[in-house]
Chains A and B, each alone.
Chain A
Amino acid sequence: MKKCEHQETIDLYLLNKLSENEKWKFEDHYFNCPSCFQRTVERQALIETVKNQGAQIFAPEAAHQVVESVPWTEKVLSYLTPRQWVTAAVSAALIIVVVLAVVPRSKQEAPQFVFTGDQTVRGASIDAIAPAGGLSSAPAFIEWKALGEDVEYKVTLSNHKVIWTGTTQDTRIALPEEIRSQLKPGERYSWQVKAYSQKGTLLAVSRVAQFTITEQK
């Protein structure tokens, strides 16, 4: 029996749920469509039997038990038709293929930004370790936590104006003796480390750490 677009209307017609216009339209249709007429007769017999003998066909306990005990797996599976499930699976597979295969290839290199000295990089930062707070003598080293490999650090020591700058790939740098000797007790000094990539891109900036050398009495 061939399928017809009016198939869904059959139930509504037999259950008297169509408007007068829809009813005439459908009746005119089944007068012209043997397939729909056959289905309508068949469905009418089914509905009549269920309505007249339903109480006997569906024992009350069976009908209710079954309705309540529909397993969740069946509920999930029956939410979509097999064809819809296949479509969903194919779509999901395509998305996975695109994500795993196409996207990494088409991924551009991360944009590189050049910062001025006043700007800081949000997110990544360098932990300044020492010196900090009050010191009894001028510090010999400035120290911070490593940011990664192949990073060049630029350290700036200042006191209102820049006193000294130094670069290293290590995570500590020695203060030259002539600079140490310039540091005066009671003054407040600040230092900051900026990390640069091999290409000279600013990667991270430490907080401005401060220290003072206590006056010896």
Chain B
Amino acid sequence: MNPGEARKVETDLDQVVTQYRPVVSFKVRKSLGGGNPDWEDVVNEIMMQVVQKIQSGQFRGESSVGTFIYTITTRRIIDYIRQKMRVLRHAPEVSPLPDPHDQVERDERAARLAEAIKQLKPKFKDVLYLYYFKDLSREEVARKLGITPAKVSERVNYAQKLLRKILTG
């Protein structure tokens, strides 16, 4: 990376953190489980590492910033899991409860989404029911409803669009 690029990355650090924190959080929560109370600490550590590595010039622009952060994220997650397994092997600890505020907020969002799903037309609800609730494959859903697999995806995507409209409308 030439000095110009280094300066640019430095000036964009705040933006990098703002943009990638939700992405890193999503990946960490998915890997560690949504109920794991450590996820936020792991995310903070990752974001700190990202900032330090960029500032110390370790990000040389050989890959995109996204890929660079993704690599740091996966390594940290692997470390965390190894570390936890070591701890569990020697002294199993009681799993702490998730953050109650965060939980309440997510429950509210889920409740609103559930209400919105109820308002969808049956043809959209059928697809969501079979595909996500019954956990059938796209092809099985297509066979059951007498439509093409591509149509299944199309309906799910359209249902998502309608839900977005209901929730923001």
**Chain B residues with CB under 8 A of A41:** 22, 26
**Chain A residues with CB under 8 A of B154:** 81
CB atoms of A57 and B147 under 8 A apart: no
CA distance A72 to B27 in the complex (A): 43
The A/B interface has a contact count, at CB < 8 Å, of 116
In chain B, residues 62-89, which have Cβ atoms closer than 8 Å to a Cβ of chain A? 64, 66-67, 69-70, 73-74
Please tell me which stretch of A23-31, A106-114, A139-147, A155-163 contacts chain B, meaning at least 4 of its Cβ atoms lie within 8 angstroms of it: A23-31
Size category of the binding interface on chain A: 35 or more
CB atoms of A81 and B150 under 8 A apart: yes
Question: Please, which residue of chain A has its CB at the minimum distance from the CB of B19?
Answer: A34
**Chain B residues with CB under 8 A of A55:** 133
B135 within 8 A of A: yes
Given A43-B160, A45-B110, do A54 and B133 touch, yes or no (CB 8 Å)?
A: yes
CB atoms of A31 and B20 under 8 A apart: yes
What is the interface of chain A mostly: helix, strand, loop, or mixed?
helix
From the candidates A32, A37, A49, A75, name the one contacting B113 in the complex (CB within 8 A).
Answer: A49
CB atoms of A57 and B114 under 8 A apart: yes
CB atoms of A66 and B122 under 8 A apart: yes
CB atoms of B23 and A30 under 8 A apart: yes
**Chain A residues with CB under 8 A of B151:** 78-79, 81
CB atoms of B133 and A50 under 8 A apart: yes
**Chain A residues with CB under 8 A of B60:** none
CA distance A90 to B101 in the complex (A): 57
B125 within 8 A of A: yes
CB atoms of B153 and A75 under 8 A apart: no
CB distance from B7 to the nearest CB of A (A): 22
CB atoms of B70 and A58 under 8 A apart: no
CB distance from B98 to the nearest CB of A (A): 14
B48 within 8 A of A: no
CA distance A113 to B23 in the complex (A): 80
CB atoms of B113 and A78 under 8 A apart: no
Given A45-B113, A49-B110, A53-B110, do A63 and B125 touch, yes or no (CB 8 Å)?
A: yes
CB atoms of B126 and A66 under 8 A apart: yes
In chain B, residues 138-166, which have Cβ atoms closer than 8 Å to a Cβ of chain A? 138, 144-148, 150-151, 153-154, 156-157, 159-160, 163-164
Which residues of A approach B to under 8 Å, CB–CB?
Answer: 7-8, 11, 15, 24, 27-28, 30-34, 37, 39-58, 62-63, 66-67, 70, 74-75, 78-81
Closest 6 pairs between A and B when the two form their complex, measured CB to CB: A32-B66, A54-B133, A31-B66, A31-B70, A66-B122, A75-B146
What would be 12 A-B contacts, judged by CB atoms less than 8 Å apart? Answer: A31-B67, A37-B22, A37-B23, A41-B26, A46-B113, A46-B128, A50-B129, A50-B132, A66-B125, A70-B146, A74-B123, A79-B146
